Structure 1
Amino acid sequence: MNHEVRIKQIVEIAYDRLCGKITGQRIEVSNEASLQLQLATILKTLGELYEETPDERFNIELEKNVSLGSGTFVKSKTEKAKIDI
């Protein structure tokens, strides 16, 4: 199974579990930052389960600054963006 397929599975399962925990009242989400932290925690746990070889590492970064190439859609006039998770 290639990396892209595994990443998609991780995200789909994590989102499903997050929704289940919210609707089942296992976690309370009072703001966007809380939601992001809960999702990041689930992603991290699942991602580590999907590591298959010693050189694979699943990492989560929050509020990461990235540079975007020209022609890429961005919300601002600059070529900089911040990714929440």
Structure 2
Amino acid sequence: MTGKHHAWFKSWSRDPDGHLLHSSGLRVLVLQEDGYTDLETDDASMAIFQAREASRGVPVHDLAARVQRLLGEAAEWHQRNPS
């Protein structure tokens, strides 16, 4: 039996600028400096993500945990799918 996140990688893609894009509208900027990779959310896409989640009935107090989970997915997707 599979969990609800068994195909999480299908929700991710890379936009023409090289940043990661989730199906929720969250855009993750990939910054590579001094031998390390840093991931940061785009402010405009964060508003889109929050509006989408709120329309689905997600409580505000759960949004931070969801963003953290998505950033973990973004890091793994980026490693599996190098630009």
TM-score interval, normalised by the smaller of the two chains: 0.3 to 0.5
Question: TM-score when scaled to structure 1?
Answer: 0.37
Q: Which is higher, the Rg of structure 1 or of structure 2?
A: 1
